[in-house]
Amino acid sequence: MQYPARLFADTATIVARCGVLLLLYAYVFSLNDGTIKGTTFAMVAWSMFFYFSFITLSSSRISRAIMQDITSGQIEVLLSKPITYLSYRAWWQIGAGVYPFIVTTILGAVTLAMTVGIPQTMKIPLFLPTLLVTFIGAIIVTLFIYTIVGLLSFWIEDVLPIFWIVDKAVMILGGSYLPVALFPDFMYKIALYSPFGASVFVTHTVYESWTTIWYKLISIQLFWIVVLGGIIYFMFSRAVKNVSVNGG
């Protein structure tokens, strides 16, 4: 709330990127009698909106924050404090993104409901509870992925090239520019079983298949949370042994 310019920038990003894509897909669907591979434009629109809404949380920025702490030496100070460093960084990142996320999500959802309508798949009782669980899982997986990228700064300092590769993988497999319902089979399987796709499973919740696969996708998220959490624990344990805190 202290930086309204950021809120404006995040909102403008969604309008510019998501809005243009929705106009493009609206035209494509109109050329195909409103349906492609059994999927309607309303489903695709909400799926893509969920992706762009989710990224306003800016969970990926945790990798840059960790890199800056390490390269600047601030990590030495933070490790000496009575806090858990990684937990502190994760909650800081969530707190930094929650306000623009709430505002842009509400405004975007109202606009989308008035323009393209709400699909029947979003009106079933199962939708909201599973969306909430998947959303929480997506936040955790995303934070874990980018925390691993940030922790690599202990060994290679500048992790931005790795960040760009990972970020583009999340963007492609998350359904930002090509909706997951329109993925080729091979690409869909990669999106389904990779941590990059699992980090944005909220984009799957609007499709008809969700009623039969929701438990499978949530299980995949839980699997990656355990695996990525183990990797983070191993990396951080190894890294802090080589950090000199207050000359110790």
* Model confidence at 135: pLDDT above 90: yes
Per-residue confidence band for 158, with pLDDT thresholds at 50, 70 and 90: confident
3-state SS class at 40 = strand
Per-residue confidence band for 144, with pLDDT thresholds at 50, 70 and 90: very high
Sequence-separated contacts (24+) of 94-97 with Cβ below 8 Å: 94/57, 94/59, 94/139, 94/143, 96/58, 96/61, 97/56, 97/57, 97/58, 97/59, 97/61
Q: Who wins on pLDDT, 156 or 144?
A: 144
Average per-residue pLDDT for the chain: 87
pLDDT tens by residue, 12-44: 777 777 788 888 888 888 888 878 888 888 888
pLDDT tens by residue, 87-134: 999 999 998 888 888 888 888 889 889 988 898 889 999 999 999 999
pTM over cut 0.75: yes
> What pLDDT does residue 248 have?
44
The encoded tokens of residue 131 equal 């969306």
User: Of all residues in the chain, what percent carry a pLDDT higher than 90?
Assistant: 35
The encoded tokens of residue 103 equal 């505002």
* Model confidence at 231: pLDDT above 90: yes
Mean pLDDT of 175-198: 86
> What pLDDT does residue 182 have?
82
The encoded tokens of residue 15 equal 């309008």
> What pLDDT does residue 166 have?
93
* Model confidence at 139: pLDDT above 90: yes
- For 23-169, list the strands marked E by DSSP: 35-36, 39-40
- For the chain, list the strands marked E by DSSP: 35-36, 39-40
Q: Who wins on pLDDT, 223 or 60?
A: 223
* Model confidence at 208: pLDDT above 70: yes
> What pLDDT does residue 244 have?
57
Per-residue confidence band for 247, with pLDDT thresholds at 50, 70 and 90: very low
Q: Who wins on pLDDT, 155 or 178?
A: 155
Q: Amino acid identity, residue 3?
A: Y
